[in-house]
Structure 1
Amino acid sequence: MTAVAVHGVGTSHFGRQPERDLVSLAFEAVREAFDDAGVSAIDAVWVGTVFGPAGMAQRVLRAMGITRVPVVTVENACASGTTAFLEAHEAVRTGRYGRVLALGLEQMSVAFSGAITPEPTDPEGRGGLALPALYAMSASRYLHLGLVTKEQLAAVSVKNHAHALHNPRAQYSGSYTTDDVLGSRMIADPLTLLQCCPTSDGAAAAVLGPARGAPRQVAVRGLAMRSGAPWNSGSPHVWGYDIVRDTAADAFAAAGLDAVTDVDVVEVHDAFTIGEIVTTEALGLVPPGAGGKAAAEGTTALGGAVPVNPSGGLLSRGHPLGATGLAQVAEIVWQLRGEAGGRQVDGARLGVVETMGGGVSALDGNACVVAVLEAP
């Protein structure tokens, strides 16, 4: 088996960009990733997208002159991009291909005029249980149990919007106060507008190949994926906790980590503020019930003990579903190379990416991918 490294990464700008097409978004990300890796050709491509039209992958790649190589499209809800990354990694690790491109791509502003329409073939979706409501239930449970306060929920948004001030590719940034966040329009009680990720368009890409110890290659030290198990009263945790905890345990074991406290920087799936709080606890970054306190006290902010979402996260960088996981990978690669500018985590050597794909069909999430990356 071959040790694998990320040779290059790239992303587009993120935001509502209905005037652009999928080709231009993909081109921006792939061109940067190729230039970063110093390559002009690859042996295979995995593409992650959720709502991309049929044949989209081949069309956007053809426009860039990438033809006659295997192209595989994967859909795994919000974890589609990191699923493409995982499959590209496996293709290199097993020696199936020498150099592989992972591409994530989504144009939400064209697919939907507003929020994502619940899937009518899903029983919960047909009943109107969209993801904002599902996350709101988790937030309500945490509030009821005294595990978080409304001010601590808002602190996640304050933190991540402030981080995004240093990310020129982010959709939103800003110096918000807790009162600003709590005073924004209610979306799903208790989650207000500034506690929910925006509708986004964007692309992100990574070139993976054998780890050769080159100065800018970032090693993939551990990688794992799980699909959700049935979620019912047998679990004491809110939705999404168990799948993140179990996937992370697999990834940390693969990476040979004795403790997650060895990690220097983390990008997590913060589609809603409660999502970051639950995830930091499930990953073991903070003790159970301490996620909100960690955000409010600056533990998970830049300069804190465990910086989380220095990119601004989904809340501020944006959440083009298929591209999100690879955008997280790109951020961690830049962090581990020391190339993140004003949002750089000093001395970062180990970074973690966590992406949890939503879904409400009686499962604890559709899928979760956790990756552990190591600096050159």
Structure 2
Amino acid sequence: MQDIHITGGAMTRFGRHPGVLAPELAQQAILKALADAGVGVGDVQAIYCANVLGGMILGQLVVRDLGFRGIPVYNVENACASGATAVHLARHALMAGQYDTVLVFGIEQLTALGGGTIPLQRNDHKTELYARAGMVLPAVYAMRGTRFLHERDAQPADLAAVAVKNRHHGSLNEYAQQRSETTIDEVLASRMIADPLTLLQCCPSQVDGAAAVVLSTRTDRVATRPVKLLSSVVVSGLRERADDDILDAEITARAAAQAYEQAGVAPSDVDVVELHDAFTIAELLYYEALQLAPRGDAVALLKSGATRLGGRVPVNPSGGLLAKGHPLGATGVAQMVEVMWHLQGRAGTRQVAGARIGLTQCTGGGIAGVDHAASSVHLLGV
């Protein structure tokens, strides 16, 4: 099987972009990614557009005026895992030899929604019933947080420390929406959203952004320091049972195990991680699901400083969703751009020194009866 490389990538600043339409935002990321890869529109054989709430045929609308000449455009929606899923599907096409160079981009304009929680699935009566009862995503993660504090003998300050770390990282990232640092006291004193999660422990819901990568099997289109896509896994959630443990993050643990096996690397080989910290509790649960820490040791890992910049395995050096923001369709692609920059030594003041293996993880979808609708894990290496 030919190696698949990320030959270029780019993203826009995540935040509010008043007066800029979603297609314009996506085009900014696309053109920068093509330039970064050193390819033109004529070199791209297929396009994958990840988006959740932008409507039909958004991919074709985005690329209409960029000079692509009738190549296939695939629109991919898989909730928050849409961007990662688009990369996964593009990888399959490259592995099959259907194409040798493709473009993957993600775009979301959440400011157009006017605020509030992200809408859940509306064509399922069970999920609608859950939502009417208050089981929106902040409430679901709050229950996990409450259970975590009880079972792990942890304190609310342990949850808040995740936000402090990621806001510090975000302060170093010119692409992040939130660039101010914070303290544990400020996090705990911010407005309560769903006990024990306060406002600063939830990712911003008012954010726009786009990200793009070029994937290729052609050796003449590989960057000076090539980044290989070592593994790509997307799985769906299993039906929940009455005795399921809400702290297991089973869907992510299952995806991670497959990704490590596929890449032939161990969790201890990973140098940098971008994971789906939509809420502070999520990052702690994913430490364990990704085997960065044994079960029960997530707080100890955080307190040790291992997941901060300068630590053994920095997690969310971009600031993560908590600081960078979470424009749904763009998130999974942006995670890969961030890790690519670290592996190539291009991450500036937030650079993870000597990074050779990176991991990205993104879950997606609130649906009644399963842990999550989807989870993806990718491993990248140089």
TM-score per shorter chain, which class?
over 0.9
By how many angstroms is 1:344 displaced?
0.4
**Which is further off, 284-293 or 74-83?**
284-293
The correspondence for 2:328, drawn from 303, 321, 332, is 321
Say if 1:310 and 1:343, in contact at 8 Å, map to a contact too.
Answer: yes
Tell me the equivalent position of 1:256: 264
Cα distance in structure 2, aligned partners of 1:133 and 1:308? 24
Cα distance in structure 2, aligned partners of 1:280 and 1:195? 17
By how many angstroms is 1:56 displaced?
1.6
Q: How does 1:8-87 map onto structure 2 within 5 Å?
A: 8-41=8-41, 42-87=44-89
Structure 2-normalised TM-score? 0.94
Cα distance in structure 2, aligned partners of 1:26 and 1:120? 27
By how many angstroms is 1:118 displaced?
3.8
- Closer, same or farther: CA 66–281 of 1 in aligned 2, 3 Å: same
Q: Which amino acid aligns with 1:290?
A: D
By how many angstroms is 1:214 displaced?
4.5
The correspondence for 1:102, drawn from 101, 104, 108, is 104
**1:294-331 CA distances to partner (integer Å, 9 max, x unpaired)?**
22331210011110000000000000000000010000
Q: Which amino acid aligns with 1:29?
A: A
By how many angstroms is 1:147 displaced?
4.8
Secondary structure of 2:64 counterpart: helix
Secondary structure of 1:63 counterpart: coil
Say if 2:121 and 2:366, in contact at 8 Å, map to a contact too.
Answer: no
Confirm whether residue 345 of structure 1 aligns to residue 352 of structure 2.
yes
What is the count of residue pairs matched by the alignment?
A: 373
The correspondence for 1:193, drawn from 199, 202, 210, is 199
Say if 1:181 and 1:195, in contact at 8 Å, map to a contact too.
Answer: yes
By how many angstroms is 1:211 displaced?
5.7
By how many angstroms is 1:71 displaced?
0.5
Tell me the equivalent position of 2:141: 135
Q: Which amino acid aligns with 1:6?
A: I
Residue ranges of structure 1 left out of the alignment (5+ in a row): none
Secondary structure of 2:98 counterpart: coil
Q: How does 1:1-376 map onto structure 2 within 5 Å?
A: 1-41=1-41, 42-121=44-123, 122=127, 123-199=129-205, 200-210=207-217, 212=219, 214-238=223-247, 241-257=249-265, 259-375=266-382
**1:175-229 CA distances to partner (integer Å, 9 max, x unpaired)?**
2110010000001110000000002110011100016265232101111110000
- Closer, same or farther: CA 49–171 of 1 in aligned 2, 3 Å: same
**Which is further off, 75-84 or 296-305?**
296-305
- Closer, same or farther: CA 211–251 of 1 in aligned 2, 3 Å: farther
Residue ranges of structure 2 left out of the alignment (5+ in a row): none
Q: Which amino acid aligns with 1:250?
A: Q
- Taking only the aligned residue pairs, the percentage that are identical comes to 45
Q: Which amino acid aligns with 1:58?
A: Q
**1:268-319 CA distances to partner (integer Å, 9 max, x unpaired)?**
0000000100011100001112222322331210011110000000000000
Cα distance in structure 2, aligned partners of 1:157 and 1:66? 42
Secondary structure of 1:132 counterpart: helix
- Closer, same or farther: CA 318–115 of 1 in aligned 2, 3 Å: same
Q: Which amino acid aligns with 2:229?
A: V
**1:341-371 CA distances to partner (integer Å, 9 max, x unpaired)?**
0100000000000011131321111111100
Secondary structure of 1:302 counterpart: coil
Moved over 6 A (4+): none
Say if 1:147 and 1:290, in contact at 8 Å, map to a contact too.
Answer: no
Q: Which amino acid aligns with 1:247?
A: A
